[in-house]
């Protein structure tokens, strides 16, 4: 059996710095349309102490008729698939500073997707908008 690496996460832990929420917005705009991936490195927010990690995320994909894929990239990759025209709260698992890759179909007018990343755990719940 191959060796398995265990990663320390903050999942389920109450944050020492207290509850923190970090809003972020992606705007998927491309003249020709098609699939577009945008990336944000949240390591700077974690290293500065603004937030100590993410245990859940609110995703507002209500203005986007297409599916959205979010990948949290840290010591491992954690993926969330969000249906078009939905909003929801999703649990997150990651280890250490994290980058977020967001992929959906872009339009010339832009497709806004708003996020609120939280350092506290929240249960999954999604709804159509």
User: CA neighbours within 13 Å on the CB side: how many for 57?
Assistant: 24
Q: What is the pTM of this model?
A: 0.86
- What per-residue confidence (pLDDT) applies to 26? 94
User: Which residues, other chains included, contact 44 with Cβ-Cβ below 8 Å and sequence gap of 6+?
Assistant: none
Q: Is residue 13, in this structure, part of any structural domain at all?
A: no
For residue 10, being part of any structural domain is answered with no
Q: Which domain holds residue 116?
A: 21-124
Do residues 98 and 73 lie in contact, with contact meaning Cβ atoms separated by under 8 Å? yes
pLDDT of residue 39: 94
Low-confidence ranges of the chain (pLDDT < 50): none
**Residue 114 domain-assigned (yes or no):** yes
Instruction: Give the chain's domain count.
Output: 1
In a domain, 14, yes or no: no
pLDDT at 16: 80
State residue 17's pLDDT score: 84
- Strand partners for 29: 107
Would you say residue 15 lies in a domain? no
CATH number at residue 93: 2.60.120
Q: Is 16 a domain residue?
A: no
Tokens standing for 45? Answer: 């927010």
């Amino acid at each position: 059996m191959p060796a398995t690496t265990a990663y320390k996460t903050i999942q389920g832990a109450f944050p020492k710095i207290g509850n923190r929420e970090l809003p972020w917005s992606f705007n998927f705009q491309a003249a020709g349309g098609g699939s577009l991936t945008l990336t944000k490195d949240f390591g700077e927010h974690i290293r500065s102490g603004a937030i100590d990690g993410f245990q859940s995320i609110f995703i507002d994909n209500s203005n986007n008729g297409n599916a959205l894929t979010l990948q949290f990239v840290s010591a491992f990759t954690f993926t969330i698939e969000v249906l078009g025209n939905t909003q929801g709260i999703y649990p997150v698992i990651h280890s250490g500073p994290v980058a977020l890759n967001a992929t959906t179909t872009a339009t010339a007018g832009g497709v806004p997707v708003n996020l609120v990343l939280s350092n506290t755990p929240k249960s999954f719940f999604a709804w159509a908008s």
